[in-house]
Chain A
Amino acid sequence: MASTVIGAGITIEGEVTTDEDVVVAGTLRGKLTAKEGVTIEHGATVEADVAGASLVVAGSLTGNVTAAERVDLQQGSRVIGNVKAARVTIADGAQFKGNVDMDV
């Protein structure tokens, strides 16, 4: 289980910084910085700039994303913002509006 979990029903307004991985199932507004993986689950709402090693999105994300390794936008996700990562996948059925920068 992830070291930091923002559960459904929890709202954080502000900045979250961690050296480990983060799972968001609730609401986060502000900024999210992790040294490891970030998971935005189905039903979660994130209005924040997100930085991490890897990012998996199944929920709603508004903000710019920077990942050291990869970004996966899963089916049913809704992302508005620019994505910068070495590897980016967008699943069929994902909604996405923004720039992709694979840093080639």
Chain B
Amino acid sequence: MASQASNLSVIGRTARVRGRVTGAVDLEVQGYVEGEISVGGDVTVDAGGMVGASVHGRRLVVRGAVKGDLTADEAILLEDGARVVGDVRAPRVAIAPGALVRGFVDTGANGEAVRPGRAQAAAARPAPATLKAVAAPVPAPQAKAAAKPVVASHLAGAAPSPSKEATPRRPPPPVVPALKKAKGQIAKKKER
């Protein structure tokens, strides 16, 4: 019984986890994980499984819902029924017919794609939406940036506040901001 349990970890159908899940082995999610998953083994999000934050593993197979970024050392498979809102990064990414993705797909994040032809074919599907989403907001920030330096220099001269410098160094608390960030990303993408 012990050996059986130690081979695979399962978050059951009715289980709900609020917090970080880490480790070096495989994980199967049939229930709801409301926190970051980062494991050294394979992660499977089954149909009916839901993850509300980023997921990292060696290989990811998704048949359920993920609201957060997906990153893998080797490959990501988004199968029929998968619903992903977030960025997808792995050397190999496969998106099967029936999988829904909203986010940026990058097949070169962890080294070169093993089979470039296949990876590109997989990436081709979400590409149009991604390009639109990325291209639209770019001009606006540049225009703002051109106007900003005058204001910024005034502020910099007038306010010698160490607290402002200290603020970005603070490490973000783990779980809650990840959820907020994910919500914010969705809101932004909806606006676009």
Contacts and interface: CB of A to CB of B under 8 A. Distances in A.
- A and B form one complex: yes
Nearest to B15: A18
Contacts of A11: 20-23
Interface stretch (B24-32, B65-73, B86-94): B24-32
A6 B17 CA distance: 11
Interface string A1-13: 1111111111111
Interface in A19-71: 19-20, 22-23, 25-26, 30, 41-43
Interface in B46-66: none
A3 B12 contact: yes
A15 interface: yes
Contacts of A13: 19-20, 22
B142 interface: no
B23 A4 contact: no
Interface string B74-114: 00000000000000000000000000000000000000000
A16 B5 contact: no
B8 to A, nearest CB: 6
B190 to A, nearest CB: 28
Given A8-B6, A42-B2, A20 B15 contact: yes
Most-contacted residue by chain A among B6, B11, B25, B31 (CB, 10 A): B6
A8 to B, nearest CB: 4
Given A2-B12, A10-B23, A16 B17 contact: yes
A20 B23 contact: no
Contact of A1 (B4, B21, B22, B30): B4
A73 to B, nearest CB: 17
Of residues B5, B14, B21, B175, which shows the largest number of chain A Cβ atoms within 10 Å of its Cβ? Answer: B5
Contacts of B31: 4, 18
Contacts of A99: none
Contacts of B4: 1
Contacts of B13: 3, 20
27 contacts: A1-B5, A3-B14, A4-B10, A4-B11, A4-B15, A5-B9, A7-B9, A7-B25, A8-B5, A8-B25, A9-B24, A10-B27, A11-B20, A11-B21, A11-B23, A12-B17, A12-B19, A13-B19, A14-B175, A15-B16, A16-B16, A18-B16, A19-B14, A20-B14, A23-B5, A26-B23, A30-B18
Given A9-B25, A22-B15, 11 more contacts: A2-B5, A3-B12, A6-B9, A7-B8, A10-B27, A12-B17, A15-B18, A20-B15, A22-B12, A25-B2, A30-B19
